[in-house]
């Protein structure tokens, strides 16, 4: 079974951390409705959705991807690149200790889950505003015994690696090469996102479905033309919080595990 951890939007979402975008008014009521629609999309993809509501005092708590990176063998608590988000990690430890052995990356190593792109046993990690080389090396040390290879990717124009590059399948990357160094994906077919939809490269792959943001119709058209199955949802309020589809859930294999 494929499960996904999500978290309801915090009433404090307006006070979220921003790095590359300017602050805009965020409607919490609209964000809550969009989050419900996002969870419904995951369910259409066959996912068992688990919705948390424990970190609501923390503005960025809806972005559950960043505090933890989950592999089949282990879950890795991240150190987080900004102070305001570090309190999110402890509750994620409590949640995922039901499902995985927990390892932790500690400061001064910095890493966030939004910078970790998993493609089979190849793990690409963005060296970004939130993740440093020490963080990348720390992750490598934890997961190398399980047969994973870790590759560093330079990220210069956006918050996280997956803001500007995600995998359409195990051989194809959808990328904004103005933000992410395309040369770090040697051997992959690279599909460039339309230049007037720079955030369109953030795609959430669930099974054989690619989940995309309705705000980027040209990007959706490109992916559909390539023959992929696409589902889409409106996440406009979360885009104002510098987020994409991948930020808002942690999908993981949960067979034979009693959900609590």
Cα–Cα distance, 48 to 79 (Å, whole number): 27
Q: Is the pLDDT of residue 204 over 60?
A: yes
**What 3-state class would DSSP assign to 22?**
coil
| Average pLDDT for the chain | 94
* Cβ proximity of 231 and 212 under 8 Å: yes
Catalytic residue, candidates 35, 39, 158, 160: 160
Q: What is the pTM of this model?
A: 0.94
Cα–Cα distance, 108 to 236 (Å, whole number): 34
pLDDT tens string 13-53: 998 788 888 888 999 999 999 999 999 999 999 999 999 99
pLDDT tens string 50-89: 999 988 888 899 999 999 999 999 999 999 878 888 888 8
Average of per-residue pLDDT across 116-138: 97
Contacting residues for 228 by C-beta, under 8 A, at least 6 apart: 168, 169, 210
pLDDT tens string 238-255: 999 988 999 999 999 997
pLDDT value of position 58? 87
| C-alpha dihedral, 150 to 155 to 161 to 163, nearest 10° | -170
Contacting residues for 67 by C-beta, under 8 A, at least 6 apart: 77, 78, 80, 85, 88, 89, 92, 112, 113
Q: CA 226 → CA 34, 96, 169, 222, 260, distances in Å?
A: 27, 36, 11, 7, 40
Catalytic residue, candidates 16, 45, 247, 254: 247
Percentage of the chain exceeding pLDDT 90: 85
Q: Is the pLDDT of residue 257 over 50?
A: no
- Catalytic annotation present for 7: no
Lowest mean pLDDT among 80-84, 102-106, 178-182, 198-202: 80-84
Average of per-residue pLDDT across 203-231: 97
- Catalytic annotation present for 160: yes
pLDDT value of position 260? 43
Cα–Cα distance, 73 to 189 (Å, whole number): 28
Q: Is the pLDDT of residue 256 over 60?
A: no
Percentage of the chain exceeding pLDDT 70: 98
All domains of the chain in start order, with CATH: 2-253 (3.75.10.10)
Identify the residue with better confidence: 3 or 256.
3
Average of per-residue pLDDT across 152-170: 96
pLDDT value of position 259? 44
Identify the residue with better confidence: 167 or 86.
167
């Amino acid at each position: 079974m494929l499960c996904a951890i999500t978290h309801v939007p915090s009433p404090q979402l307006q006070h979220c951390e921003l790095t590359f975008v300017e602050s805009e008014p965020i409607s919490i009521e609209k964000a809550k409705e969009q989050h419900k629609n996002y969870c419904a999309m995951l369910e259409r993809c066959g996912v068992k959705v688990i919705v948390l509501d424990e970190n609501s005092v923390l503005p960025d708590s809806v972005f559950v991807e960043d505090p933890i990176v989950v592999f089949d063998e282990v879950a890795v608590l991240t150190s987080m690149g900004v102070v305001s988000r570090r309190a999110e990690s402890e509750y994620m430890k409590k949640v995922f200790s039901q499902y995985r052995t927990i390892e932790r990356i500690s400061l001064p190593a910095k890493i966030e889950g939004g910078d970790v792109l998993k493609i089979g046993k190849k793990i690409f990690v963005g060296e970004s505003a939130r993740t440093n080389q020490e963080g990348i090396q720390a992750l490598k040390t934890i997961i190398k015994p399980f047969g994973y290879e870790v590759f560093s990717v330079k990220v210069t124009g956006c918050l996280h690696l997956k803001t500007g590059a995600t995998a359409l399948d195990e051989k194809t990357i959808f990328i904004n090469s103005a933000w992410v160094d395309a040369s770090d994906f040697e051997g992959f077919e690279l599909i460039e996102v339309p230049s007037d939809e720079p955030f369109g490269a953030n795609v959430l792959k669930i099974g054989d479905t690619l989940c995309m943001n309705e705000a980027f119709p040209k990007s959706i058209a490109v992916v559909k033309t390539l023959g992929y199955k696409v589902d889409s949802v409106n996440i406009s309020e979360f885009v104002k919080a510098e987020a994409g589809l991948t930020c808002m859930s942690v999908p993981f294999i949960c067979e034979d595990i009693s959900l609590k």
